[in-house]
Amino acid sequence: MLLGDLERLKDFQIRIGSVFRMTFYPQDRVTPKGQGAQSRIKYFVIVGIDANGDYIGASLINTNVNINFAAKIAPYQLCIYPDKYEFLDGKYRYVDGYAIKQIKKERIQNEAEYIGILEDDDIEKIRELLRKSPAMDTRTLRQFGI
């Protein structure tokens, strides 16, 4: 497969519902885990794309709901199941429907690894949680077509 073909394939994969794995840093508002860690690898799902296609709205996929914020964010987490999604490696995970990360499409193209895709019904549930979330403003929801 040629490099141009790989780039077109990755472009095709950057769509609502796609799940990627990428390294995040403190400037991404993701806390590194472990003594001396400077980054953290996280899964995320694309929940929206801006009108120009330059920025992606992404919800992080977490192993657990952060106990320090559980009272505030737990109602906005969607549990996804390993029997439905093989890429979860037999573990239940939680998609964050409380807030989204804004990521440049170019960064996903250059740094992220495609993992799989969520079913439409789960994407709609996540988007509904985001619409109800007190952390999300109307402008951001509109920007990403949520």
Domain ranges (residues) in the chain: 3-143
Q: What pairs with residue 103 in β-bridges?
A: 56
Give pLDDT tens digits for 5-30. 455 555 658 899 999 999 999 999 89
pTM recorded for the entire structure: 0.89
Tens digit of each residue's pLDDT (9 = 90 or more) over 74-133? 899 999 999 999 999 899 999 999 999 999 999 999 999 999 999 999 999 999 999 999
CA separation for the pair 123, 142 (Å, rounded): 16
CATH topology of domain 3-143: SH3 type barrels. (2.30.30)
Q: Which residue has the tokens 């993992």?
A: 115
